[in-house]
């Protein structure tokens, strides 16, 4: 993964600043944007077709929570 991120980072349009492995994904913005996208889809009546995004968000939240639990146990 590190080699792939390094290779992608050579593209000047992307850069390598945010291509580092971490817990969960997306920092603060991507999860918020996914939720906003889901809410808008619901408003438009197509929310069920994007149900998978809800599951992705839940997985991401559980991953972050697991790291907090592990740190608390140390």
Span 17-35, pLDDT tens digits: 777 777 777 667 788 889 9
29 belongs to the catalytic site: yes
Calpha distance 46→50 (Å, rounded): 7
Q: Please give the DSSP secondary-structure letter assigned to residue 50.
A: G
Mean of pLDDT over the chain: 86
Q: Which residue among the candidates 29, 71, 72, 74 is catalytic per the annotation?
A: 29
pTM of the model: 0.62
Work out the percent of the chain whose per-residue pLDDT is above 70. Answer: 96
Cα 73 to its chain centre, rounded Å, is 25
- Ranges of H-type helices in the chain: 2-9, 29-43, 51-73
């Amino acid at each position: 993964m590190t080699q792939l991120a390094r290779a992608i980072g050579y593209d000047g349009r992307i850069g390598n600043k945010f291509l580092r492995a971490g817990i969960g994904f997306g920092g603060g913005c991507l999860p918020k944007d996914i939720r906003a996208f889901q809410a808008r889809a619901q408003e438009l009546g197509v929310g069920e077709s994007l149900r998978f995004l809800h599951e992705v968000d839940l997985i991401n939240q559980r991953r972050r929570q697991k790291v907090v639990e592990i740190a608390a146990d140390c």
